Structure 1
Amino acid sequence: MIPYWHAPSLELGPLKIEPFGIFVAAGILLAARLLGRQAEKEGLNPEPLADFAPWGVGVGVVVGHLVHLFFYHPEELSKSPFQILKVWDGLSSFGGLLGGILAAVVFFRMRKLRFSDYADAFALGVAPGWAVARLGCFAVHDHPGVPTDFFLAVAFPGGPRHDLGMYDAIALFAITGVLYALRSSGKLKGRLLPLLAVLYSICRFFFDFLRATDMAYVDARYFGLTPAQYGSIALLLYGVWGLLRRREPGTASSPPSAPKNPGTVGAR
């Protein structure tokens, strides 16, 4: 059994930084770094990804908060009419994913770029970044599961339970290993993002059956399923479609090369 330990906040003078936010920030930075590196390896121009990052994060946070508020915990709307503006107070990972997708659709269309050219880079960056962010959920134990005597149970106050934040992180790190192994072997090139969607959606759909229903603050259910389970079904459909669809010839945009200096041609 895993001991229950709540990561402390980091206080810098009047500023208080929560551990969840630290892990989320670390996950975003890791994802952004890997996205650019993978794009360069595939001969793509990484500059659009750097430009997209703040838009993707910003829209993801806003939509993630709205999904949390309107679908997971609508009772919070009764606290204050300004609750909708507190984007830091409650986030849904699937809502953040939806926001990131919407931002990507608009951004890549405006830049007249094909998102499919960058899809593998997104898969190889998002999966490990998301895993690190999920460690933040484990650090604050904000996704408690049902009581259990499973060997990976966390000794929550009141008795051992599944910790869904930890399970999500483990699954995403494992999926990351699969994606990088396939990248190295050259298999499923151009289809790693749909594969990520399929693998994660299956894990998340079944994990959510383990979520607690006997606590004061639990996720809403609609016809017996959580909002994330409906999101998992949609993500699975996208993944299957992406794996089965016929690939179009790539039109990757290569990174700009540095101009040659005639005076140094042939220098060693």
Structure 2
Amino acid sequence: MALSVIVGWQMAVARCRRKGLDDAVCTGLLAYVVLAGFVLAHLYSVIAYFPRQAMESPVLLLKVWENISSFGGFVGGLLGLWLYFSLKARNIDTGERMKYLDVIAFVLPFAWAIGRLACTVAHDHPGTITSFPLGISLKSPEARAYIATFYRDAGRLAELPPSVELAKMAFHDLGWYEFLYTLLVMVPVFLVADRKPRPPGFFTVVFILLYVPARFFLDFLRLADARYFGLTPGQYAGLAVFLAALLAIRRRSRSDRIAGAS
């Protein structure tokens, strides 16, 4: 995780310079975005996914190094951006602010791939068992014991087949799947799209349109996440963000049509 932040930070600063944006604003903004992102990633995860545990032990809310949510991090990052421009750079107009936001959005897939590679190595986002070829093999006793722990914690241990059958299966590794999707789909799309000038906000919208649908469907493979009316908190957050992106596209298209007609 630390490496992904460092790489993303350095890429963002370098891109700000290439785009002629202010260095001091860029680094100050990144500090707000990263800090608020981590705090909200944790708070959202605990409150949305573990409400009972949070009420029983409120100290969980202070353990910001545990239980983080991607969508909580995105919301926190946007909050950090709003706070920075409200407190430190009020003189910068909306169009210029979108340029800084787009810099951050552009580097996200690259940093995200590094973060998800760490998740892949740790196998810390296990999903349900499967026969899917890209799943993580359960051939070894250690792997079977590992997935059994998560099924037990989810109250679903009875769903596991006997050990002999389980050894022929695998489990969905959601961190691994996100790593593959980010590296093989999102990164190439961003590199190709960056070959020509794009309007402010372009990469922000593209990131949302590419990431949210994939994440929405991956959440159905989760093992123990809290669900409300059949969907996880991440899926609800994703739907809200995706609809906001579609609204932004519609408003932009309407503005372009009005400008073209005038």
TM range (shorter): 0.7 to 0.9
* TM-score, normalised relative to structure 1: 0.76
Structure 2 Cα separation of the partners of residues 188 and 179 of structure 1: 14
Structure 2 counterpart of 1:147, from 129, 136, 150: 129
Q: Residues 119 and 191 of structure 1 are in contact (CA less than 8 Å); yes or no, is this contact kept in structure 2?
A: no
Greater helix share, structure number: 2
Change (3 A) 1:176 1:200: same
Provide, for residues 91-111 of structure 1, a one-character-per-residue CA deviation record: whole Å limited to 9, x for no partner: 111111111111111212330
Given residue 72 of structure 1, which amino acid in structure 2 is its aligned partner? Answer: Y
Q: Which runs of 5+ in 1 are unaligned?
A: 1-23, 213-217, 250-268
The one-letter amino acid of 1:233's match is: L
Which protein has greater RCO, CA pairs closer than 8 Å, 6+ apart?
1
Unpaired segments of 5 or more residues in structure 2?
Answer: 145-165, 257-262
Instruction: Find the counterpart in structure 2 of residue 201 from structure 1.
Output: 212
Residue by residue over 1:141-180, the C-alpha shift from the partner in whole angstroms, topping out at 9 and shown as x without a partner, is: 2221221111111124224111111111222222122012
Report if aligned partners of 1:205, 1:228 keep a CA contact under 8 Å in 2.
yes
Percent of residue pairs identical: 33
Aligned to 1:232: 238
Cα pair 1:197 1:236 within 8 Å, conserved: yes
- Aligned with residue 166 of structure 1, among 176, 181, 188: 176
Q: Which residue of 2 aligns with 1:132?
A: 114
The residue type equivalent to 1:142 in the other structure is: D
Q: Does 1:177 align with 2:188?
A: yes
What's 2:49 paired with? Answer: 72
The verdict on how the C-alpha distance between 1:155 and 1:79 changes in structure 2, with shifts beyond 3 A counting, is farther
For 2:193 and 2:209, how far apart are their aligned partners in 1? 15
Aligned partner of 2:225 in structure 1 is 219
Report if aligned partners of 2:98, 2:200 keep a CA contact under 8 Å in 1. Answer: no
Alpha-carbon distance in 1 for matches of 2:11, 2:43: 28
Q: Secondary structure at the match of 2:38?
A: helix
Counterpart secondary structure, 1:184: coil
